[in-house]
A and B are shown apart, each in its own frame.
Chain A
Amino acid sequence: KAGVTQTPRYLIKTRGQQVTLSCSPISGHRSVSWYQQTPGQGLQFLFEYFSETQRNKGNFPGRFSGRQFSNSRSEMNVSTLELGDSALYLCASSQIQGAVNIQYFGAGTRLSVL
């Protein structure tokens, strides 16, 4: 089974631009979560989608948005980029077993904002 695939792996943008990151989950996984990883803040939860609906959201500004398609692929968009948005963005797809969320992570997209 193929793992979680994130594209692109690296991105360089300038302040004020917008960016879209893509995530293809493991086949059969319907839940996709997004995280931001920085040296200072660690791993912070952005949002989670399940069956094309945002089910949970972290404490990030509205510039961060996402969506999920009918094939469970997900995209994350960041508008009006700021320097502080430079981070590794991780996507995880989930195998839900009852109330338990077992997440499998992609390699991430490293975003640098100049």
Chain B
Amino acid sequence: AQSVSQHNHHVILSEAASLELGCNYSYGGTVNLFWYVQYPGQHLQLLLKYFSGDPLVKGIKGFEAEFIKSKFSFNLRKPSVQWSDTAEYFCNTGTASKLTFGTGTRLQVTL
């Protein structure tokens, strides 16, 4: 079965620092990968997705992720974080009927 693992559980960064959150997936045939974000008190929102094609995917709010097949990775990046990026970030993979979430990474951005 497909699965993902997120190794960073809690990340603290200062504003303007660069961000990279790790996500590794297990091979399970066709790879569909997503990053979701959950801001405090808000619902889960889709940040970006990868199905096929260009391995560098751009999402909302300046986020991007790179699919590296040889490393089974789909890391999330942002060149310069803002205080408003404080949230929990989930990497996940899925099929047509089921999404499997990673354990999440809590990002705290300090002023």
Contacts and interface: CB of A to CB of B under 8 A. Distances in A.
Contacts of B30: 99
Given A43-B90, A43-B101, A43-B104, A101 B95 contact: yes
Interface residues of B, number: 23
Contacts of B99: 33, 45, 92, 101, 103
Given A43-B90, A99-B30, A102-B49, A55 B97 contact: yes
A108 B96 CA distance: 22
Contacts of B94: 100-101, 103
Interface string A30-42: 0101010000001
Nearest to A55: B97
Contacts of A100: 32, 49, 51, 94, 96
Contact of B43 (A31, A98, A102, A108): A108
Contacts of A103: 46, 94, 99
Nearest to B101: A43
A88 to B, nearest CB: 10
Contacts, number: 64
A104 B104 CA distance: 17
A114 B25 CA distance: 37
Interface residues of A, number: 28
A84 B94 CA distance: 27
A99 B100 contact: no
B97 A56 contact: yes
Contact of B96 (A35, A44, A45, A96): A96
A54 to B, nearest CB: 10
10 contacts: A42-B90, A42-B103, A48-B97, A56-B97, A56-B98, A100-B96, A101-B99, A103-B94, A104-B46, A105-B45
Interface of A: 3-4, 31, 33, 35, 42-45, 48, 50, 55-56, 58, 90, 92, 96, 98-108
